[in-house]
Amino acid sequence: MRLSLLPIFVFLMPLAEIAGFIVVGKMIGVWATLGLVILSVLLGAALLRIQGIGILQRISAESRNGGDPGREMVHGAMIVVAAFFLMLPGFISDIIGLLLFIPAVRDLAWQMLRKRIVVVGNSRAFRRGQGSGAGPQGRPNKPGNVVDLDEGDFHREPNRKSPWSDQKRLED
């Protein structure tokens, strides 16, 4: 969609949603229409929770395996947008939201967006495939200052006052 058409879309979408409410309200009644709106909000929240956890696991697995998590990140963003559309009151936005929950539709959108999105990472898994000086098994090609320590060579005392400390504080 061209950005010059966006204001027209933003203006016409609420009018189309109101027209959809009128048509559906005449066909099935006011209470059933309100029930459908509430059901779509609950469905959007539930699908976001279920699908979102799966997407986060796939992003993590893709990153761990040294792959490009760009596709999974775009799928995650589309799921958030789909849930947002389902939570908006209106039947047209619900249809758009339900379509975005279908993996084939998300793949089609990913094919259109792929060339415009660049995923930049800072971990070895990202650098390994992108020619930043890392060789096989993520080892640097150039010799550097590598210090190999055993557990006995380095020991850090836990900071019990830190909120991130895994030590249980008995005095609290």
Q: Which burial class, exposed, middle or buried, applies to 79 when counting CB atoms under 10 A from its CB (0-12, 13-18, 19+)?
A: buried
DSSP secondary-structure letter at 171? -
22-25 contacts at long range (C-beta below 8 A, 24 or more positions apart): 24/91
> pLDDT tens across 81-140, in order?
898 898 888 899 999 999 988 889 988 888 887 777 776 655 554 444 444 444 444 454
Hey, where are the domains in the chain?
3-119
Q: Which burial class, exposed, middle or buried, applies to 139 when counting CB atoms under 10 A from its CB (0-12, 13-18, 19+)?
A: exposed
* pTM for the full predicted model: 0.60
Cβ contacts of residue 90 below 8 Å, gap of 6+? 14, 17, 20, 21, 37
